[in-house]
Structure 1
Amino acid sequence: MHPIRVGLVGTGYAAKVRAESLQADARAQLVAVAGHTIDKARAFSETYAAQPAASWMELVNRAELDLLVIATINRDHGPIARAALQAGKHVVVEYPLALEWAEAEALVSLAHQQNKLLHVEHIELLSGIHQAVQTALAEIGTPLYVRYTNLNAQRPAPQKWTYSLDQFGFPFMGAVSRIHRLTNLFGRVATVTGQARFWHESAESDQYTSCLCTAQLRFANGLVAEVVYGKGEAIWRSARTLEIHAAEGGIFVDGEQGTLVQANQTRSLEMGSRRGLFAKDTAMVLDYLTTGAPLYVSLDASLYALKVADAIRRSAETGRTIELE
């Protein structure tokens, strides 16, 4: 059986680690790469012994490719995935699947119709941090309150697509992993209330220098979660923390350090490493395609997290609480 022949869209960090993972696995062959420009595609391809492509459309139309990996700006995920599925290719895409929930839902239906793999990367679920928290939940009883904070102070704000609403999307959709971590741990969401503020370079510019978004999620099981996401010049101190308060204890994560607190003990959690997660995701995709082994995340779970994120966006725009259940 020939190796799975892969086309890659993107030349940034995620594309680099994907290329390294594919190159290291005999079950796959990285055939061609498309970038933002042909020069970037050419330079990237030379490193990984692949062929440069003038555009992602060229990759979609190459009949010899079995799989397309999408690691480019968020805005283009949906259109590229649709074209690749329509061309009869399997698709792996970095989150989010699309910047509109309805578009993502349509792509899932298309993948089923075409009988092709559509896998959305959610490596946060593979991380040692997430798995340590998931394991420790059994020790603290019924979760009551969660506070999840992701703040990134950047001064000056970079002139990058990640600071563009058009290209990155509404922050909780572009960074939907923050929502997916919670829905994976705690289940269905009943209502959401969201707020968002952006500091733009100018009144005419889509590019912003800072954003700050908050959301309150009320889960179907009664848990209340507050989520904070912000980046840029208006943020003066970076923070990556998760607090889970429950009936019989709490879990507290600060960066890569975790602590479990109960009435009679306080102990550190073994958090493991965040290294090698793209390689693990890639290996599981190849396992699925070659042996049918199950993946670690379902399309339904990924789609549901995006639905919650979209509800936060609608709440922020309208000032209303949105009911999901």
Structure 2
Amino acid sequence: MIRTGLIGFGLGGTAFHAPLIDAVDGLELAAVGSSRAEAVAKAYPGVPAVSPEALIADPAIDLVVVSTPNATHFPLATAALEAGKHVVIDKPLTPSAAEAEALIGLAEAQARLLVPFHNRRWDSDFLAVQALVQGDRLGEILLFEAHWDRFRPELSQAWKEAEGGGQLLDLGPHMIDQALVLFGMPEAVQGDVARQRGNSPVDDYFTVTLFYGTRRVVLASSRMIAAARPRFALHGRGGSFVKYGLDPQEAAMRAGGSVRDPGHGLEDPAQYGVLTLPDGSTETIASERGDYRRFYAGVAAAIRDGAAPPVAAKDALAGLQLIELARQSAEEGRRIPLA
């Protein structure tokens, strides 16, 4: 068993990491680094709640999972790697590309895994989109659009809306990662980043356009949109695919559902996307079963068997570099080519 220590028992720890670790063969949730001892004991009897420092220092812990505010990712991961642990970090890997590069170098020097939690590669709808692209159902893709919107006009007290957070650093890593999985690195990037709620200390709107020759990839998110835009819209020489609604896994896990439920990861057929062909005919495309357990199963295989990690740290680094270029582009009002 790979003894796993989880640092952080907020939303990410309780709704994502702890239940996924608990459900994957070969992993054991051995300790939680949190001050919420009562909550840990109620959810996972027998699992001790300790300080992050004690968890990292424990020689029996093989894997450390960091699910804490952004600014703490780099120091906690650095300490864990220096202690000889493998490390998983929730997105963003770090707040900056420079810190991500430093962590990658440290992980290589320590011969330990550093794996970004880009679980959205296993969203039900993204798996369907990936199959369409790989199967060339739409021919050459000319326009790919992804939207991830909310309607939150009031500021919350969450750290994600404090300095060091923001919409682009919160959802951008997932959305950019999905684009890179499909199309690789672009030739250029253009960003539009704004604070549309006047009292917001961080950005709450972004549109990032990635350029690939004649193809455009447009990734957009706002906290001030009440009417849903398509989650995915793909337009190619052979037709279009449009889909609304989000993968159901997060909502189910936040509501206390189990990843072991028979219907977990299955999308409501009413949310399936529609493929429209040039002759006007349509076909409903069923979303695949989403399953974030595949991420942690991949981590276990990488530690135990030497398999490739489910997400490469350099992929997260590439995403952070694009986020920084998008911010620069927004500030300078121009498209920025990649070196």
Give the TM-score category using the shorter length. Answer: 0.7 to 0.9
Change (3 A) 1:199 1:164: farther
CA distance in 1, matches of 2:140, 2:24: 42
Q: Say whether the 8 Å CA contact 2:299–2:310 is kept in structure 1.
A: no
Change (3 A) 1:135 1:27: closer
* Aligned twin of 1:273: 289
* Aligned twin of 1:28: 27
What secondary structure sits across from 2:233 in the alignment?
strand
What secondary structure sits across from 1:140 in the alignment?
coil
Kindly state the Cα deviation for residue 305 of structure 1 after the two structures are TM-superposed: 1.9
Q: Say whether the 8 Å CA contact 1:5–1:67 is kept in structure 2.
A: yes
- Alignment match of 1:236 (pick from 217, 226, 241): 226
Paired AA for residue 181 in structure 1 = Q
Paired AA for residue 268 in structure 1 = T
Q: Say whether the 8 Å CA contact 2:207–2:220 is kept in structure 1.
A: yes
- Alignment match of 2:103 (pick from 93, 100, 107): 107
Q: Say whether the 8 Å CA contact 1:189–1:308 is kept in structure 2.
A: no
1:249 and 2:264 are equivalent in the alignment = no
Superposed CA deviations along residues 174-229 of structure 1, whole A, max 9, x for unmatched, are 32111111111112211111121115675xx74x5x7111122212x431122211
Kindly state the Cα deviation for residue 155 of structure 1 after the two structures are TM-superposed: 4.3
- Alignment match of 2:206 (pick from 203, 213, 233): 213
What secondary structure sits across from 1:112 in the alignment?
helix
1:154 and 2:146 are equivalent in the alignment = no
Q: Say whether the 8 Å CA contact 1:191–1:218 is kept in structure 2.
A: yes
Paired AA for residue 4 in structure 2 = V
What secondary structure sits across from 1:99 in the alignment?
coil
With normalisation by structure 2, the TM-score equals 0.83
CA distance in 2, matches of 1:108, 1:45: 34
Paired AA for residue 147 in structure 1 = E
* Aligned twin of 2:175: 178
Q: Which moved more, 1:110-119 or 1:239-248?
A: 239-248
Kindly state the Cα deviation for residue 25 of structure 1 after the two structures are TM-superposed: 4.2
Paired AA for residue 305 in structure 1 = G
Superposed CA deviations along residues 37-78 of structure 1, whole A, max 9, x for unmatched, are x2x144214421211113x22322222211101112222222
* Aligned twin of 2:276: 261
Q: Say whether the 8 Å CA contact 1:193–1:215 is kept in structure 2.
A: yes
* Aligned twin of 2:218: 226
> Which runs of 5 or more residues in structure 2 are unaligned?
246-270
1:311 and 2:304 are equivalent in the alignment = no
* Aligned twin of 2:302: 288
1:301 and 2:293 are equivalent in the alignment = no
1:120 and 2:96 are equivalent in the alignment = no
CA distance in 2, matches of 1:244, 1:21: 31
1:322 and 2:336 are equivalent in the alignment = yes
Paired AA for residue 148 in structure 1 = A
CA distance in 1, matches of 2:21, 2:232: 33
Q: Say whether the 8 Å CA contact 1:34–1:41 is kept in structure 2.
A: no
RMSD (CA atoms):
2.2
Kindly state the Cα deviation for residue 89 of structure 1 after the two structures are TM-superposed: 0.6
- Alignment match of 2:73 (pick from 48, 73, 77): 77
Paired AA for residue 31 in structure 1 = A
Q: Say whether the 8 Å CA contact 1:172–1:179 is kept in structure 2.
A: no
CA distance in 2, matches of 1:88, 1:211: 38
Map residues 59-70 of structure 1 onto 2, 5 A cutoff: 59-70=55-66
CA distance in 1, matches of 2:321, 2:301: 28
CA distance in 2, matches of 1:319, 1:165: 23
> Which runs of 5 or more residues in structure 1 are unaligned?
none
